[in-house]
């Protein structure tokens, strides 16, 4: 079982480009705005620059808030690909997370290796269990070792694969296969935790 680090790094989301909420849990792939916000990353349209200043080192925020995970969805932007974690009731609290590149994706708890496609693996821990802690009822239908339900990455420039790891000790673990070890950022907006991975350095 891996333990998360405790260093805190709060990153603010700048500009526009947030995803709207999905109409249903199954509708997990959602387009983003075609125009990249200031401070975005990756190639953009004519006359538009994309920052690559996010870096690719681990990003961690310690948060005790642990509301259930409701959905995971993705979207595309001119500068980056985006993954959004919808967390019920998280508007009033800081969501904890640990996001970083790993050489191999091992299921939290069991240590079993789960293959993830792509040139690099971004491991994402979110302090939101995939079940309701008060009832034990499943709130997100992820299955260990399987792709995320409803997420279709066809046509994405950076995202290549998704795998559900585990929901263990109040946190959910996701493996995100990407094209290479590219810059990424993590931000929170209301009840959404957002992971953006740039198209290029």
Task: For residues 185 and 152, give the distance between their C-alpha atoms in angstroms, rounded to a whole number.
Answer: 21
pLDDT of res. 92: 65
pLDDT of res. 33: 37
pLDDT at position 95 over 60: yes
Q: Give the pLDDT band (50/70/90) at residue 128.
A: very high
What would the DSSP string read from start to end of 123-167?
Answer: EEEES--SB-TTT--BSS---BTSPPTT---TT-SSEEEEEEEEE
For 146-161, b/e burial (b = at least 16 CB within 10 A) is ebbbbbebeebbbbbb
Mean pLDDT of 68-79: 97
Q: Sort 65 into a burial class: Cβ within 10 Å, 0-12 / 13-18 / 19+.
A: middle
Task: For residues 71 and 78, give the distance between their C-alpha atoms in angstroms, rounded to a whole number.
Answer: 24
Q: Give the pLDDT band (50/70/90) at residue 90.
A: low
Taking only the tens place, the pLDDT of each residue in 50-67 is 987 999 999 999 976 668
pLDDT at position 19 over 60: no
Longest alpha-carbon distance in the chain: 52
Mean pLDDT of 169-186: 97
Mean pLDDT of 174-182: 98
pTM: 0.78
Sequence-distant (6+) residues with CB within 8 A of 135 are: none
Pick the more confident residue, 162 or 134.
162
Q: Give the pLDDT band (50/70/90) at residue 4.
A: very low
pLDDT of res. 185: 97
Tokens of 163: 């795998």
């Amino acid at each position: 079982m891996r333990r998360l680090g405790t260093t805190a790094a709060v990153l603010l989301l700048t500009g526009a480009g947030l995803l709207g909420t999905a109409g249903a849990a199954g509708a997990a792939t959602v387009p983003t705005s075609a125009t990249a916000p200031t401070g975005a990353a990756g190639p953009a349209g004519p006359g538009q620059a994309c920052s690559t200043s996010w870096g690719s080192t681990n990003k961690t925020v310690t948060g005790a808030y642990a509301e259930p995970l409701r959905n995971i969805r993705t979207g595309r932007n001119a500068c980056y690909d985006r993954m959004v974690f919808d967390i019920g009731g998280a508007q009033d609290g800081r969501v904890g997370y640990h996001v970083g590149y790993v050489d191999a994706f091992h299921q939290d708890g069991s240590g079993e290796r789960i293959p993830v496609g792509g040139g690099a693996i971004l491991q994402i821990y979110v302090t939101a269990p995939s079940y309701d802690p008060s009832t034990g009822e499943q709130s997100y239908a992820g299955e260990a070792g399987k792709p995320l339900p409803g997420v279709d990455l066809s046509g994405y420039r950076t995202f290549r694969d998704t795998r559900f790891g585990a929901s263990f000790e109040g946190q959910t673990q996701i493996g995100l296969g990407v094209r290479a070890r590219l810059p990424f950022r993590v931000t929170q907006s209301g009840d959404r935790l957002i992971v953006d991975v740039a198209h290029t350095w």
